[in-house]
Structure 1
């Protein structure tokens, strides 16, 4: 039975998402897992909800625009200064190591560069909320490992978005049979620099306008208008909306830091119901029938991601001459995978919609593998954090 009343559907989805999210949180899993389960029940299992590509695209693009805007808002000049050279070097090395190892590992098994590039780029993301929550839960001191973990997860999602934009552009080149050097180089560059320019331009306009706005309602309207315009223009010009919104947020917060903080607080206050709907939509797009077929790829992805995170962190830490315990254990604290990874996976089908069934199949495979492995990483991620801070001697009760 398909329910066609949209208002009723939203009410049911929010209620179920909230309740199941609380239940999964009780079992020490991120609420995102609960939202995805609700989506699977409403969609592939009982066929209560059927959304068109157009409806899904609106929800996905708007929500990811918001997420990217907030990620960009964390990149203040003060934050980047506090990070220090060591954290930046380690972040970059572990990100590219994870990307390369997953991409090659999946390619060697599937002989498919497209799924390898997609999973490799998404696998770079580390869940900040889950990682920081685990640090608080085990009462970690503000020692070197804890500080470095917090800094890296703050920067990691930004690096992930850049790598994902490059990867998706390369996948489009491969699917379009344009495997000559100019296409491989020029297409990603246009998508990246065009998105950066768009985000900076709208960020400057929003910063100027923000000085003339007062009141929470006006601030909220102004913020959402800026994000929607950024997403819409990015779609029209075939640029990365995620990257554009990230640079919109970064430009805005650095031009008007005091006003910007108020803007971001107000935008974040409306996120919970939007998150619930977004991850339920992710569950709607998941293909349970592919779980067994994708099982081996999921295992390869999981093993390669752990190897990339730990190996990349080890070599990065060694390069900056970090303490031996940082070299050994920091990678274990960076295994959580949740919101940004699932969000990027959901966008794949939309990004590749011009390539027909091949694009749709790649989208279904990606969201299925990422959603399934998110459950695994949300179990082992917090365990890794606890083990790492224990071995580093940064637990309060020790």
Structure 2
């Protein structure tokens, strides 16, 4: 088991201006005065491979269902979801994870959210508020990791505990290696599986251990599973499966979204599922913040959760892209095919210099890995030297872009 060095932990809230650590604002500043080179496309136009923004069309079912419910825009939506949406989400969870009937009650254990991002943010605020009386003032998060985790800690004035995620840790955070005193102060711990950016997936024993750790120390386990339907080979295990073995959802919130599964990032539709008391608290904060899902979108969301065929086709699309990446990279940059997600996590030396060169000479926009660690005190930065490349374009774009990337950086 890895040990987290004490000097990597800081007993203080993050007081930095969020503009200084939001990764895409940093990237914009890095490239602001640099003209993009001609890309390898026939058009020569730049290629954005920095953002995990699906480029394939959403299923026709989405627009058809929204159009079929035009009257729903006039009403405030029910925060806990329509019966149709509840049934669809619970049904998908049962099919995807083989959950026993009754483990997830659509009225008590589920909350529609406008994508996983908003749910994760409000979950952190609610966990910190609820845990304040017990002195729970810190957030456990992977480094590198999704920037919303650190943003939520900053918004709440909480102490972020950044846990280095490396090849040695299996590209997943080892929270059990933290000092028990830190664990007793934790309000919430974030785990992304398949992980962003590395594509590592927690197996069922790992989820069991994480859930047991959260329950033992009294913090919320936030399982960010927005990439759960994009995988290579066997479907990754889920946190709810570990909970099902105990017959209880205590201490757990699992987050799912249609953004990646259904190429519907603009729909802003997902859900969280877990312990009823935790769901109730997040619900209350969402009511303050206005993070509800409109009725026509809930109808479209229900239709999409009920349809597995389009998700299977989408998964096949990404599998082809990874096959192309494997053939083009040929083992370069320390990359191997991940368990899930749609990112390449490439070892390139100086990640900022690599991103600049790709933009300046080839019009290819990528994200320096070091930008995915929000803590300036965490040295060495565990993501320094890596480049995140999103495989979201079709093969006619992805293929030439990867070939040019290898040409420029393989030196």
Of Structure 1 and Structure 2, which has the larger fraction of its residues in helix? 1
The verdict on a shared fold, with TM-score over 0.5 as the criterion, is no
Of Structure 1 and Structure 2, which has the larger fraction of its residues in strand? 2
How does the TM-score come out when normalised to structure 1?
0.27
